[in-house]
């Protein structure tokens, strides 16, 4: 009887020891997983943002686009109204697209040399334009510009367009924002000039059409009196 109790105790002790080893191994795996998925990324983020990342300065402005109301052919006007769009709202979308367009970037590059400032070696490698020096083409700069430098957000209810510009100095961020605002104003002025020309053209066409109808009516009356 004593031998049986002793054997059972040894068996239970071995089972408990094996279970303890399994639990310890599992805890070690969990600890390694925790270190890999939580501790390491957090430490890297603290290291990068605390010591390596270059300061980024954000400049934000808001504005409303107002353009001359254009007279459109009735068919096109009804299509726009049926889709929930008006000529004014389409102009807002045009301005929004222009701010991140090739034309806008080309103007900024000529004035402010964005390749040089955003590709400076003083900027950390993760935020810098063309960090490895492999592709400094305009197309690459355009992708960088649209992804990092400029962001636009349109409130469709109020038609307020928010422009956000990021740069590595407060002066450059503000300068780029102000330049884009002025460029947007010039773009809207061109839209307005085009709208005024359209109005003149439509008015002239209406006058010519009315005169033609009048001449036709007069000729018809003269023909019936002969």
Q: Determine the pLDDT at residue 55.
A: 84
Contact 162, 169 (CB under 8 A): no
Written in H, E and C, the secondary structure of the chain is CHHHHHHHHHHHHHHHHHHHHHHHHHHHHHHHHHHHHHHHHHHHHHHHHHHHCCCCEEEEEEEECCCCCCCCCHHHHHHHHHCCCCHHHHHHHHHHHHHCCHHHHHHHHHHHCHHHHHCCCCCCCCCCCCCCCCCCCHHHHHHHHHHHHEEEEEECCCCEEEEEEEECCHHHHHHHHHHHHHHHHHHHHHHHHHHHHHHHHHHHHHHHHHHHHHHHHHHHHHHHHC
Cα–Cα dist 165/145, whole Å: 10
Contact 57, 173 (CB under 8 A): yes
Q: Determine the pLDDT at residue 21.
A: 73
What residues does each domain of the chain span?
A: 1-52, 57-214
Q: Determine the pLDDT at residue 70.
A: 54
Cα–Cα dist 176/183, whole Å: 10
Query: Would you give per-residue pLDDT tens digits along the chain (226 residues)?
Result: 444 445 666 666 676 667 767 766 666 665 665 555 554 455 444 544 444 557 899 999 999 887 665 555 544 444 444 434 345 567 889 999 999 999 999 999 999 999 999 999 888 888 889 988 899 999 999 999 999 999 999 998 888 999 999 999 999 999 999 999 999 999 988 888 876 776 666 667 666 677 677 667 666 666 665 5
Instruction: Write down the pTM of the prediction.
Output: 0.65
Q: Determine the pLDDT at residue 218.
A: 63
Contact 176, 61 (CB under 8 A): no
Q: How many CA atoms lie within 13 A of 9 on its CB side?
A: 6
């Amino acid at each position: 009887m004593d031998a049986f109790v002793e054997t059972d105790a040894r068996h239970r002790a071995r089972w408990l020891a094996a279970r303890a080893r399994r639990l310890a191994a599992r805890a070690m795996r969990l600890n390694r997983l925790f270190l890999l998925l939580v501790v390491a990324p957090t430490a890297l983020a603290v290291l990068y943002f605390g010591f390596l990342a270059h300061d980024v300065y954000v400049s934000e402005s808001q504005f409303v686009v107002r353009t001359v109301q254009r007279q459109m052919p009735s068919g096109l006007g009804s299509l726009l109204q049926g889709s929930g769009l008006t000529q004014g709202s389409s102009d807002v979308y045009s301005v929004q697209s222009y701010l991140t367009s090739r034309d806008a970037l080309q103007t900024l590059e000529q004035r402010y040399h964005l390749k040089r400032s955003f590709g400076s070696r003083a900027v950390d490698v993760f935020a810098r334009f063309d960090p490895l020096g492999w592709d400094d083409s305009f197309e690459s700069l355009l992708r960088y510009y649209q992804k990092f430098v400029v962001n636009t957000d349109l409130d469709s209810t109020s038609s307020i367009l928010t422009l956000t510009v990021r740069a590595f100095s407060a002066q450059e961020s503000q300068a780029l924002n102000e330049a884009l605002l002025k460029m947007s104003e010039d773009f809207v002025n061109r839209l307005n000039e085009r709208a005024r020309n359209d109005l003149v053209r439509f008015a002239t066409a209406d006058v010519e059409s009315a005169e033609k109808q009048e001449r036709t009516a007069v000729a018809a009356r003269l023909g019936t009196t002969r």
